[in-house]
Amino acid sequence: MPRSDEAKMWFSAVYKAVQEVPYGRVTSYGHIATLIGYRGAARQEAALQQEGVQIEHSNMGERSVDLGTYGWFPNHLPSEDSENENGA
């Protein structure tokens, strides 16, 4: 599937930013987005709430989601099931 120029820019910016995370350290996808100027937490929060996902707010203003309740961690992608059914 061809990517739009905007998608290519986004991928490149995220990839470059992730390469700067020091060895042995971690960060969040949201923080990377903030660093590259794409802070969209409010839009994402609204989209998740429309899907029925409850967003928690900490005293420091950080947002979080209960992954025990709303997380999705399958052992394989659903698309792999349809590929296997088609003889792939």
Instruction: State residue 50's pLDDT score.
Output: 93
**pTM metric for this prediction:** 0.50
The Cα–Cα gap between 41 and 47 comes to: 10
Q: Residue 3: what pLDDT? A: 66
What pLDDT does 28 receive? 84
What's the pLDDT at 55?
93
pLDDT at residue 42, rounded to an integer? 73
Would you state the structure tokens that stand for residue 56, as one six-digit string? 């928690």
Q: What is the pLDDT of residue 34?
A: 83
| Among 47, 46, 54, 50, residue whose Cα is nearest residue 71 | 54
8 Å CB contact between 35 and 16: no
What averages of pLDDT result for each successive group of 10 residues across the chain (88 residues)? Answer: 75 93 90 81 83 91 90 90 64
